[in-house]
Structure 1
Amino acid sequence: MTLSFFDQFMSPVCMGIPLIAVAIALPWTLFPTPTNRWLNNRLLTLQGWFMNRFVSQLLLPINMGGHKWALIFTSLMVFLMTINMLGLLPYTFTPTTQLSLNLGLAVPLWLATVIIGMRNQPTHALGHLLPEGTPGLLIPVLIIIETISLFIRPLALGVRLTANLTAGHLLIQLIATGAFVLMPLMPTVATLTAVILFLLTLLEVAVAMIQAYVFVLLLSLYLQENV
């Protein structure tokens, strides 16, 4: 029984083809593309409004040099949000429950922000490793601590996204299993459990959207320190 709970996080394979690649490629087909007409429909207008508001709020505290990342951040936000929410559908697979995928997204983007800081303003980038006014005896210790915290950032990004989605999916499956087992024994308790399951599903939808936003927001904060 315990192993079956974790089977949902195993990357499915069909005829030797890992379906995680299909799950990653599928979300792009679900979004409408703008037309050449003068007027768009309500869905395209809402989609454009959401993109504009997201980009304006995300890049507001960042210098002009970091505005080149607007397309990357917006695409990553939409991508993560879509695959997180598609994973809540029955008989689907959530790619972002795999730590390898999350680290594959976090490490290159974090490394790009660090390289930009080292190239454009190396003194300012290295200054983050040592707070101003530090006593002389604490300088070596603080440099080591700040260096470790710098290199642990991509791991924290990937683990945060993986842990939140994995915990939510496990809790949903546990409560659903409990409701199914209690239905013939105690229908009233099973009904209350089903109501809790419905509320938890709504919460998980919110978590799927919030975690995608938090992932991109933290990347933008790392970029803000280096531009």
Structure 2
Amino acid sequence: MVLNFFDQFMSPSILGLPLVALALMLPWVLYPAPGARWVNNRFINLQQWFINGFTQQLLLPLNKPGHQWATLLVSLMLFLITMNMLGLLPYTFTPTTQLSLNLGIAVPLWLATVLKGLTTQPTHALGHLLPEGTPAPLIPVLIVIETISLIIRPLALGVRLTANLTAGHLLIQLVATAAFVLLPLMPAVAVLTACILVLLTLLEVAVAMIQAYVFVLLVTLYLQENV
């Protein structure tokens, strides 16, 4: 039997029912909502501290109208971090390794920022397509180039998140397979490979958090240009 390393990225199903919907709903179950008590437990306090710190850092470069997006951006950040981290557990599935899901998140957010700029400040939004002081012969070329760079933004968001998570998962599976194969042949090399696997897992945990932050940060930068 030929081992296919990309089978781990296929959407799992039980009795013909895809489990992607269950995986997408899981992050909202893990985060408790603050109660009406004056003193909450440590987990809720840590969660509130993280959300407050991240919100302040995220909204720092935005103008006042952009602060209305705070709930959406923070929720997206928690959702992506949770999905990326849960995908590192055994016998789990990472929906954010699917390009279709990432594009389904990136395209509406990008389109919302573009429409926000066109409705609130159309002159400033259209001014990004043509830098000031451009020579007349280069105007059509620059407009086409800037339009393409604007349209390709959601594709870059989705591909970046998908590629980084897919590459990390594949590398971990390759190293883990090598460790199991080398264990009866060369135990010392297998132990060294297992140590490398632990380091790669820690690196993938960092990548999962950083890629979620980069995704939301780029959406914030796109919003900053249009508010």
Q: 1:53 to 1:4 in 2, by over 3 A?
A: same
Q: 1:127 to 1:2 in 2, by over 3 A?
A: farther
For residue 138 of structure 1, report the CA deviation from its aligned partner: 0.8
Name whichever of 188-197 and 9-18 sits farther off.
9-18
User: 2:75 is matched with which residue?
Assistant: 75
User: 2:211 is matched with which residue?
Assistant: 211
Structure 2 spans left out of the alignment, 5+ residues: none
User: 1:38 is matched with which residue?
Assistant: 38
TM-score (norm. length: structure 1): 0.98
Q: Which letter does structure 1 place at the counterpart of 2:102?
A: N
For residue 39 of structure 1, report the CA deviation from its aligned partner: 0.6
For residue 2 of structure 1, report the CA deviation from its aligned partner: 6.5
**Cα deviation 1:171-224 (Å, max 9, x = unaligned):** 000000000000000000000000000000000000000000000000000000
| Runs of 4 or more above 4 Å deviation | none
For residue 225 of structure 1, report the CA deviation from its aligned partner: 0.2
Tell me if 1:131 matches 2:123: no
Q: Which letter does structure 1 place at the counterpart of 2:113?
A: T
- Distance, in Å, in 2 between the alignment partners of 1:112 and 1:171 is 35
User: 2:87 is matched with which residue?
Assistant: 87
User: 1:162 is matched with which residue?
Assistant: 162
Residue identity over aligned pairs, in percent, reads 76
SS at match of 2:4: helix
Q: In the TM superposition, what are the counterparts of 1:167-206 in structure 2 within 5 Å?
A: 167-206=167-206
**Cα deviation 1:62-112 (Å, max 9, x = unaligned):** 000000000000000000000100000000000000000000000001000
Q: Which letter does structure 2 place at the counterpart of 1:68?
A: Q
**Aligned residues, how many?**
227
- Distance, in Å, in 1 between the alignment partners of 2:2 and 2:136 is 53
TM-score (norm. length: structure 2): 0.98
Q: Which letter does structure 2 place at the counterpart of 1:73?
A: L
- Distance, in Å, in 1 between the alignment partners of 2:208 and 2:73 is 17
Tell me if 1:148 matches 2:148: yes
For residue 124 of structure 1, report the CA deviation from its aligned partner: 0.2
- Distance, in Å, in 2 between the alignment partners of 1:48 and 1:81 is 16
For residue 123 of structure 1, report the CA deviation from its aligned partner: 0.4
For residue 36 of structure 1, report the CA deviation from its aligned partner: 1.2
Q: Which letter does structure 1 place at the counterpart of 2:164?
A: N
**Cα deviation 1:145-172 (Å, max 9, x = unaligned):** 0000000000000000000000000000
For residue 16 of structure 1, report the CA deviation from its aligned partner: 2.3
- Distance, in Å, in 1 between the alignment partners of 2:93 and 2:42 is 30
- Distance, in Å, in 2 between the alignment partners of 1:137 and 1:145 is 14
For residue 3 of structure 1, report the CA deviation from its aligned partner: 5.2
Structure 1 spans left out of the alignment, 5+ residues: none
